[in-house]
Amino acid sequence: MAEWKHKRFWSDVTVVEKDGGFTILLDERQVKTPAKTSLVVPTHALAELIAQEWAAQEGEVNPETMPMTRSANAALDKVTAQFDEVAALLAAYGESDLLCYRATAPEELIARQAAAWDPLLEWAQTDLGARLKSGHGVMYIDQDPASIAVLNKIVFAFTPFELTAFHDLVSMSGSLVLALAITQGHLTVADAWETSRVDENWQIEQWGVDDEAQEVADAKRQSFVHAFRFFEAVGRI
């Protein structure tokens, strides 16, 4: 993000309507993305969060402290231009969803996975109309094409801003179904995070906490929560 890293030059940060959405003005200068696209977002709520990030900058602008701005940049500069490719990539997770591949041992882990993941597969079948099969081991499970088509349709119906957040929810959890459960209000982001980490939590119980791995997990969790907040601010939830 070095392209848009510079020193603060503005006094006031305001949100104004523009082109059917909302943009942020630094004094009278409109914020633009690294690709020089006008930063116009779909909701006032998201614009306000971005404005707060710009208002909080002191001295040299630090993009690492501006996650909402960075996600909006990605939605406009990357996802909008590659929407079909990104949507197809995410929809493909339905064919190898984390929730469908279970441990072969020990019995306690198998039971824990079933308790956490079976209800979500049942929800996908009853609420989404997508029945996914599960199995034990790593052998590929051939899912029903009709169910995969249902999931594809849902993913391709997202807007570029929604898809930007959805990308991180899917890729960080390894589960399309889990991400859909969050975005449709079926599962809280905190519960979803824990549900995605059944295997990791089991390993911690057996072998203890690895400080380096925990640090990585904490950063990943923060990014996961941010993705939800971004999706929420776009207005779907």
The per-residue DSSP string of 36-54 comes to: --B-EES-HHHHHHHHHHH
Token readout for 228 is 């939800």
Beta partners for residue 15, in sequence order:
24
CB atoms within 10 A of CB 219: 10
Q: Give the global pTM.
A: 0.93
Structure tokens at 233: 């601010």
pLDDT per position as a tens digit, 204-223: 999 988 889 899 999 999 99
What ranges do the domains of the chain cover? 2-79, 83-234
Q: Do 83-234 and 2-79 have the same topology in CATH?
A: no
Return d(Cα 176, Cα 168) in angstroms, integer: 11
Is residue 31 a contact partner of residue 70, using CB atoms and an 8 Å limit? no
Helices 189-196 + 176-183 axis angle, to 10: 170
User: CA dist 186 to 113, 128, 182, Å?
Assistant: 18, 11, 6
pLDDT at 114: 98
18 — phi, psi (to 5°)?
A: -160, 130
CATH number for region 83-234:
1.10.3580.10
Tell me which architecture the domain covering 2-79 has in CATH: 2-Layer Sandwich (3.30)
What does the pLDDT look like over 42-91, one tens digit per residue? Answer: 999 999 999 999 999 988 889 999 999 999 999 999 999 999 999 999 99
